[in-house]
Amino acid sequence: MSDPNSSMPVPVQLTEQLSSLTAQQKAFLAGYLWAESNGAASAVVGLPAAAAVGGAPQRSITVISASATGNAAGIAKKLTEKLKSEALDVTLTSAGSYKARQLAKEDIVVISTSTQGDGEPPEEGVPLHSYLFGKKAPKLDGVSFAVIGLGDSSYPLFCQAGIDFDTKLGELGAERLMDRVDCDVDYEAASDAWIDAAVAKLKDVAGGSGAAVAGAVSAVDTYTHEESAYNKDNPYTATLLTSHPLVTDNAGRIIQHVEIDLDESGLQYQVGDALGIVTNNPSELVDEVLGLCGLSGDENIEGRAGTANIRQALAQQCDLNQLTPKFLADYAATAGSDDLSALVEDKDKLQDFQAWTPLVGLLDAYPQKLEAQRLYDGLKPLAPRLYSIASSQEEVGEEVHLCVGLVDIEANGRVYHGSASGLLSNRLEEGDEVQVFVEPNPRFRLPESGDTPVIMIGPGTGIAPFRAFMQQRNADGAQGRNWLFFGNRNYRDDFLYHAEWIEYRDSGLLHDVSLAWSRDGEDKVYVQDKIRENAEAFWQAIEEGAHIYVCGDASRMAKDVERAILDVIAEQGGKDEDDAVEYLNELREADRYQRDVY
């Protein structure tokens, strides 16, 4: 008699046993065997057979990061890796590549978002945010979620974007799996604790009894932030080649063109990226702070980088310009000043004071002696500053160029400077070392095709990335139309990179230039006035597929410019306000409206 198993791919007894399984058990086994053949089933090997075959199905998790400087993206990535190592079914995506309409179809959504200074989500999170807050927001019954927010408590709307996402998802019917966590600038400890809690929770609710064979192999990583050998924790020590003024002595402020040599670092950047500058504080300012606090500078503190003396810590690690409400309240408690105590109780006055008063201003106006450790603990960590890169490597090779406005801070009858802008404009000499890293900005990219028209709107130092764009379009031999909207105070004094724009116009690469001078005539003229003035041509360019880019101040300019663009879309396109908003959101989702604003 022949062996009944010989003509079967699996033993007959096994096929008989299989026929007694439920559909869910069969589905589980199919995934298990497929995963095992791909070497990924170890996560379930130790499970008791009954539990593995009979339990709840696994749930899918989508982790969405909305990040401006990469921190929220880093948290999302870390969480995803931990979930993957638990063999959960997880997909990581940046909000910029996420289609908001997908949300209602999700099972579990985890959002990691930062917040801009004015309480808005970072640029890549705007479409998702405006979809959720718009008229077409979906019902989210059946979706579960968790949110972690990053922010800076020295700004009034601390972690507002995280609060918005968390609140709105709940209002739309989604199930909150865990309380939101709001993290401050020094976020690592809080975010690590939240990640651990989230992994435990998600294992519990999403693991299914058969723990995720599918997850071990099906996680699709759509993470878009690029990795580099150098980053903010490991910056490259570059050399300052030159720093020279772009404005005349009559401009009333200083804006510098800065060139930095990346030498043989191998550092690569794309136009649209930013350069991180590791900054420090000038020794005169540190001396002044020490004197006002009654410290010699030799006192030791326990800091983030171990034990250090307070002089070094103030120079390298502490933000001396931007105070937090918490520090101000703590300082007021022992300053013996009724005025200051009243001020910290009044939210509006506190906000105003905080926005304009550096540490020396506080110490001078409300003097008191401070212990070194208390001073250190109260100050924000000195974060690297990001500048939009003003060059293309196609043109400048191993160099990187920046356009830096020197920030003036008035206090005690003197003018102090922003930490990084002061470093790049004043304190560094040619040939000095400067620590840098490239911060990729994948949400601010030229169109793939050189034939696509572009509209660039960048008043003030917001012009920086557009100098890079033009160098790139030139190097690529791009044929598409280029239209620049630039504005500043006076034509004569602060037309940044004037000669280069003339050259581009004369060579035919720059097709249209719309200039707005705010202090040349009786009335202020801003870039948005120029957009309205050219409404018909602007609309036509949009209709022809133009990509629109905005760079510069987020708090007022970017909002006013967006208003003007919406007006053009509404008036020229014959749309009502809601349709115009939706039209602009569609442009955003199609990467045809990109902003680099802060």
Question: Contact with ligand NAP (CB under 6 A): which of 272, 378, 459, 480?
Answer: 459
Contact letters (x/-) for ligand NAP, 367-396, by CB under 6 A?
A: ---------------------x--------
514 binds ligand NAP (CB under 6 A): no
CA 541 from chain centre, in angstroms, equals 29
Are 598 and 126 within 8 A, CB to CB? no
Question: Contact with ligand NAP (CB under 6 A): which of 131, 236, 526, 538?
Answer: 526
Q: How far is the CB of 529 from ligand NAP (least distance, A)?
A: 9
Strands (E), 21-71: 60-66
254 binds ligand NAP (CB under 6 A): no
Question: Contact with ligand NAP (CB under 6 A): which of 31, 122, 384, 405?
Answer: 405
Task: Determine the residue with CB nearest ligand NAP.
Answer: 460
Count CA atoms closer than 13 A to 178's CA, side-chain side.
21
Provide the pairing of β-strand 306-309 with 547-552.
unpaired
DSSP string for residues in 123-139: GGGHHHHHHHHSTTPPP
Determine the size of the site formed for ligand NAP (CB under 6 A): 25
Provide the pairing of β-strand 236-245 with 255-261.
antiparallel
Contact letters (x/-) for ligand NAP, 460-489, by CB under 6 A?
A: xxx-x----------------------xxx
Are 186 and 194 within 8 A, CB to CB? no
Q: Which is nearer to ligand NAP, 72 or 132 (CB)?
A: 72
Phi, psi of 211, rounded to the nearest 5 degrees: 25, 70
Q: How far is the CB of 388 from ligand NAP (least distance, A)?
A: 4
From the list 120-128, 152-160, 459-467, 503-511, the region that binds ligand NAP by CB under 6 A is 459-467
551 binds ligand NAP (CB under 6 A): yes
From the list 361-369, 374-382, 390-398, 523-531, the region that binds ligand NAP by CB under 6 A is 523-531
User: Of 70-89, which residues contact ligand NAP (CB under 6 A)?
Assistant: none
> How many angstroms separate the CA atoms of 141 and 153, rounded?
33
Are 53 and 25 within 8 A, CB to CB? yes
> How many angstroms separate the CA atoms of 300 and 419, rounded?
23
**H/E element, 290:** helix 283-293
From the list 50-58, 110-118, 554-562, 574-582, the region that binds ligand NAP by CB under 6 A is 554-562
Contact letters (x/-) for ligand NAP, 213-252, by CB under 6 A?
A: ----------------------------------------
From the list 94-102, 174-182, 187-195, 548-556, the region that binds ligand NAP by CB under 6 A is 548-556
562 binds ligand NAP (CB under 6 A): no
Q: How far is the CB of 436 from ligand NAP (least distance, A)?
A: 16
> How many angstroms separate the CA atoms of 194 and 457, rounded?
39
Percent helix, strand and coil across the chain, each rounded to 5?
45, 20, 35
Q: How far is the CB of 158 from ligand NAP (least distance, A)?
A: 20
68 binds ligand NAP (CB under 6 A): no
Angle (nearest 5°) at CA 236 between 418 and 274:
55
Question: Contact with ligand NAP (CB under 6 A): which of 527, 531, 548, 587?
Answer: 527
Q: What separation in angstroms does the CA of 427 have from each of 98, 218, 236, 281?
A: 43, 52, 19, 10
Phi, psi of 45, rounded to the nearest 5 degrees: -60, -40
520 binds ligand NAP (CB under 6 A): no
Q: What separation in angstroms does the CA of 444 have from each of 123, 450, 452, 477?
A: 10, 15, 15, 20
Residues of this chain that bind ligand NAP (CB under 6 A): 388, 405, 459-462, 464, 487-489, 518-519, 524, 526-528, 551-553, 556-557, 560, 596-598
